[in-house]
Structure formats: structure tokens, C-alpha cells
Amino acid sequence: MTTRWITWLDERLGLSAIYNTVLDRKVPKVNWSFTLGSATLFLAVTQATTGIFLTAYYVPHPEQAYASINYIMNDVAFGWLIRGIHHWGATLMVITVFLHMLRTFFYGAYKYPREITWITGVFLLLLTLGSGFTGYLLPWNQRAYWATTVGTSITETIPFIGPFINEALRGGSELSTLTLVRFFSAHIWMIPAALFVLIGVHMYLVVRLGISHIPSEDE
């Protein structure tokens, strides 16, 4: 019965072709470091899922942000767990994305024909860091406030356009409601949208080109 259903669906949707192309691929003899990209992908999906749940209770306003986080931690059922996973997942994702980049660098996986995989990766790294930076402000506690004050003021050292970038990030000369709302919007919409589009391109290239092999001594 189940097989008949699968065959019925497969004839109409071409599921086995998708399965064969995406999952049933030949992989050269590799080691555990080749799982770091998948670990990063898993964490990106976990962050998106837990982040969506957090938006149900988080309030992006200076007067309510901190209280809403407290509420999530103490009163919402499993709120502490969802926030904990999101909090530690962010740190872990930064670590895995760096290690994944180092792995591809050390094995020369950025060389022909994988240059565009590497370039999309560079943007993925920047977006991951941007995600961490914008998310850090959201609890609106002393640490978040001052870390963002210092972080944004660093941009001021860029010649000519520095002060403009600083003001654009803060939405004024100092951190305010506008900064919090701006960072929230970037954190939940702009960055994730760009991140998942780029992950799609990155994954398309991984499937299209296959995984590189470990270079031999004479390569």
C-alpha cells in the first residue's frame, strides 16, 4: 500500500530523481572534518526554527525587550529551552562556520571548479557574523547596549564614510528605539533571507560539483 502511494507520487513529482541527485551521491573517501558544512547547515535551520518561536514573545522596544526575555526565560513553557538553544546555537554556528572554512581552505577545496562555492561561503560567513552582532543587542541589557555602542563606533574609523555608516546603523548619533528596531529587522528578516538564498546557491554548487577529494602529496 505504502509503496503504491510512493510510486504514485514519484510518477507525478519525480521524487526519486531528486533523492538520487541530492542524497544518493558518490562521495570520495573523506574524514570527519567534511561534516562541518552539514553541521553549520543544521545549526542554521535550528536557529531559524527557535528564532521564529522566540518572536512570539519577544518585544523589540527598549521598555519591554528585557522584560520580554525575562518572561520567556521564567514564565513561557520551555521558553528557557528554546532561548538556550538559540543562544548557544549562535555561538556554535560561528565556531562551526569558521572550522568549515578552515577545512575547505586547508584541503584547497576553493580551487577550480569551486571558486564560486568559496565566494558564496565568504558572504555566508559575513552574514553569520552579522546575525550574531544584531542578535546580541536584542536583550537590551547593559552588556548588549555597551557592546553595540562599541561595535557600531568601530565603523566610525572607516575613512570618509565611517560616520555615515555609524549613524545609519544606529539610526541616529546614539543607540535608541530606532537602533533596536533596525537590528531586530535585520536579525529576523534581512540577514536570514539573504543567508538562506545564499545557502541554496552554496548547496546547489555542492550537489552540482560534488565534494572535493583530499589532495594527494603530489597535487
Cα 90 from Cα 103, distance rounded (Å)? 20
By CB under 6 A, tell whether 181 contacts ligand HEM. Answer: no
| Amino acid occupying residue 95 | I
For ligand HEM, which is the closer residue by CB, 126 or 181? 126
Which one of residues 83, 86, 114, 182 is an interface residue with ligand HEM (CB under 6 A)?
A: 114
For ligand HEM, which is the closer residue by CB, 72 or 205? 205
| Amino acid occupying residue 162 | G
Count the alpha carbons within 13 Å of 130 in the hemisphere toward its beta carbon: 21
Cα 79 from Cα 193, distance rounded (Å)? 25
For ligand HEM, which is the closer residue by CB, 91 or 153? 91
Q: Taking the CB of residue 136, how many other CB atoms lie within 10 A of it?
A: 16
Cα 78 from Cα 43, distance rounded (Å)? 19
C-alpha distances in Å from residue 93, one per residue of 25, 88, 124, 165, 204? 26, 8, 11, 27, 21
The window from 10-18, 51-59, 119-127, 167-175 that contacts ligand HEM (CB under 6 A) reads 119-127
By CB under 6 A, tell whether 121 contacts ligand HEM. Answer: yes
Q: Which residues inside 47-106 make contact with ligand HEM, applying CB under 6 A?
A: 97, 100-101, 104
Q: For residue 188, which of 134, 121, 126 has the smallest C-alpha distance?
A: 134
Which one of residues 170, 182, 187, 202 is an interface residue with ligand HEM (CB under 6 A)?
A: 202
Binding residue count for ligand HEM, defined by CB under 6 A: 26
Cis peptide, bond prior to residue 113, ω within 30 of zero: yes
Q: Are 141 and 66 in contact (CB under 8 A)?
A: yes
The window from 19-27, 34-42, 49-57, 58-66 that contacts ligand HEM (CB under 6 A) reads 34-42
Task: Give the shortest CB-125-to-ligand HEM separation in angstroms.
Answer: 4
Task: Give the shortest CB-154-to-ligand HEM separation in angstroms.
Answer: 22
Footprint on this chain of ligand HEM (rule: CB under 6 A): 34, 36-38, 40-41, 44, 97, 100-101, 104, 109-110, 114, 117-118, 121-122, 124-125, 128, 199, 202, 206, 211-212
